[in-house]
Amino acid sequence: MLDALGLKSWVKTSGKAGLHVLVPVTDATTYDDTKPFAEAVANTLETALPEKVTATMTKTQRRGRVFIDWSQNTTRKTTVCAYSLRSTPTPLVSTPVTWDEVTQAFSDMSPDLLRFGPSDVLDRVERLGDLFADARSTPQTLPTVR
């Protein structure tokens, strides 16, 4: 959907169970711009794919579907940054990944393909570089949504 809107996006693992999608925007863009845009994306996807996507936070409504948390686009919410070590029984790292890796993990029904420990991430950065490096230099203007 973001591609169809002409927006370039990056993705990273949360270091736990989710994925975070980043759409770099211009410095003039505010939360008053991003929140309704994210909500419109979530609602559009939920309407188009109701068996696969939900924009409803209630955990019972989310089971077996992708939850798009559009409400993260506000000043009082936080999101773990890329390369942050998470406090999990086995330490995991919030890791930038490629959309191809996400597609592969989905195709294989193997979320473990998107779980990375500290040494995995160091190996990845050495091999692939910083997959988020270009995001900062790619400011975009969000399209108007209703």
User: Would residue 138 count as lying in a domain?
Assistant: no
Q: pLDDT tier at 74 (50, 70, 90 boundaries)?
A: confident
Give the 3-state secondary structure of residue 23.
Answer: coil
- Give burial (CB, 10 Å; 0-12/13-18/19+) of 58: exposed
User: Would residue 123 count as lying in a domain?
Assistant: yes
User: Would residue 2 count as lying in a domain?
Assistant: no
CATH number for position 101:
3.30.70.3300
Residue 62 is predicted with a pLDDT of 83
Reply yes or no on whether the pLDDT at 130 is more than 90: yes
Whole-number Cα distances in Å, 109 to 27, 114, 123: 38, 11, 24
User: Would residue 51 count as lying in a domain?
Assistant: yes
User: Would residue 146 count as lying in a domain?
Assistant: no
Residue type, 60: T
Would you say the pTM of this structure is higher than 0.85? yes
- Domain with 85, as residue range(s), is 10-128
User: Would residue 137 count as lying in a domain?
Assistant: no
- Over residues 73-88, mean pLDDT: 90
- Over residues 14-26, mean pLDDT: 94
Beta strands in 2-142 (DSSP E): 10-13, 19-22, 53-54, 66-67, 85-86, 92-93, 96-97
> How high is the mean pLDDT of the chain?
93
Beta strands in the chain (DSSP E): 10-13, 19-22, 53-54, 66-67, 85-86, 92-93, 96-97
Residue 84 is predicted with a pLDDT of 96
Q: How many domains does the chain have?
A: 1
Match 């209630």 to its residue by tokens: 58
Residue 146 is predicted with a pLDDT of 64
User: Would residue 145 count as lying in a domain?
Assistant: no
Give the 3-state secondary structure of residue 122.
Answer: helix
